[in-house]
Structure 1
Amino acid sequence: MVQQLSLATFMAILTVLIHLTGLALLVRLLRSEHRLVTPIRKAPLATLLLASLGVILIHTVEIWTYAFLYLGLDALHDFETALYFSTVTYASVGYGDVLLGKNWRILGAIEGATGIIMLGWSTAFLVSLLARLKLLAHDWLSPDTSGG
């Protein structure tokens, strides 16, 4: 059990570092003055699209990292199964149709908790971006001053 907890702690820290680095690079890209990025920054929806794709890429790297770990541990027998298990575990704490053996089930549970936290962090990032781009402002939120 100590081995599972140690590995799960390492993977949680690694996932946070991947996420932090990915978001930092994404912010740097979005703030870039590069000639390819400047037109995107002038279009708020394009900026939101780029940020969303960046966030999806970050989660993909994290999910694939866990999938390769499960393969390396011989906890799952093929890459498709490992990737499927990692994706459903990371995003929803699993469906239960693919299970890890007793030797690694704590690792899977901690991947689920870590994934939910990372998805929440990404959601906060995107909502913050929406606010900064003023895409959350709606006329229907303003009080009606027309008297009707």
Structure 2
Amino acid sequence: MDWLIPQGLFAEHLIALIVALLVTGLVVVIHYEGVHALAARYAGRTPKRDRGIMLRVIFALLGLHVVEIWCYGLAYWGLTKVQGLGFLHGVHGADTLFDAVYLSATTYSTVGFGDLSPVGAVRVVSGLESLTGLLLITWSASFTYLEMSRLWSDGVPGRRQD
């Protein structure tokens, strides 16, 4: 198994993988429930002003993403407190919860500045987080597009209603 995981570190990588999968499941459920609640709240409405609704939708989606980033940040922070699972390496040190949440935000958004990086088994979390973040951000973008299409097509003067 040395070709896949460094010898003697299988248990550490397995723990990190299990945590990554659990957190990913949690954030997907959070996102689903949040988007579902937004859809239920605004479906079928014909607002007088759609600007206010779209602002509420955008800020609600941003709030969902912040909660999801914190979930991963807490996972990084917790895993780095367990001996042998890895640590966060950064220019100015990286030992605080803020550092873990910052790493999570740059990973989730796939920005990846590179000033802070995971070392050891905890890297498994970052790989899965970047894929999940990309999916959830595009899910939010799709939802926003659908809401805008619905709101802007209802009652637009000169627009044909099918």
TM-score by length of 2: 0.73
- Aligned 8 A contact 2:17 2:125 in 1: yes
Q: Counterpart amino acid of 2:124? A: I
Alpha-carbon spacing, 1:72–1:13, altered in 2? closer, same or farther (3 Å): same
Question: Which of 29, 35, 42 is the equivalent residue of 2:48?
Answer: 42
Q: Distance in 2 between matches of 1:110 and 1:70?
A: 12
Assess if the C-alpha contact under 8 Å between 1:94 and 1:112 holds in 2: no
The C-alpha deviation readout for 1:103-148, integer Å capped at 9, x for no partner, is 211111111111000000000000000111126xx99xxxxxxxxx
Alpha-carbon contact 2:73-2:104 (below 8 Å) kept = yes
| Gap runs ≥5 in structure 2 | 1-12, 81-86, 89-94, 158-162
Contact residue 51 and residue 126 of structure 1 kept, 8 A: yes
Separation in 2 of the partners of 1:3 and 1:93? 26
Per-residue deviation, 1:93: 5.3
Q: Displacement, 1:2?
A: 2.1
Aligned to 2:36: 24
For the 8 Å contact 1:26–1:51, the answer to whether it is kept is yes
Decide which of 75, 96, 112 is 2:130's aligned counterpart. Answer: 112
- Cα RMSD (Å): 2.8
Q: After TM superposition, give the deviation of residue 7 of structure 1 in Å.
A: 1.8
User: Where do residues 62-77 of structure 1 align in structure 2 (5 Å cutoff)?
Assistant: 62-74=68-80, 75-76=87-88, 77=95
* CA deviation string 1:51-97 (max 9, x = no partner): 00010000010001111121222244102211110100000152221
Distance 1:59 1:104 in 2: 21
Unaligned runs of 5+ in 1: 33-37, 140-148
In structure 1, what is the Cα distance between the partners aligned to 2:64 and 2:113?
23
Q: Which runs of 4+ in 1 moved over 3 A?
A: none
Kindly indicate whether the alpha-carbon contact (under 8 Å) linking 1:19 and 1:58 is maintained by their aligned counterparts in 2: yes
- Within a 5 Å distance, the mapping from 1:127-138 to structure 2 comes to 127-134=145-152
The structure with the greater share of residues assigned to helix is 1
Name the SS for the 1:99 alignment partner.
Answer: strand
Instruction: Give aligned-pair identity as a percent.
Output: 29
Could you say if the C-alpha distance between residues 93 and 111 of structure 1 is closer, same or farther in structure 2, counting changes exceeding 3 Å? farther
TM-score (norm 1): 0.79
Q: Which residue of 1 aligns with 2:101?
A: 83
**Separation (CA, whole Å) in 2 of partners of 1:112 and 1:94:** 9
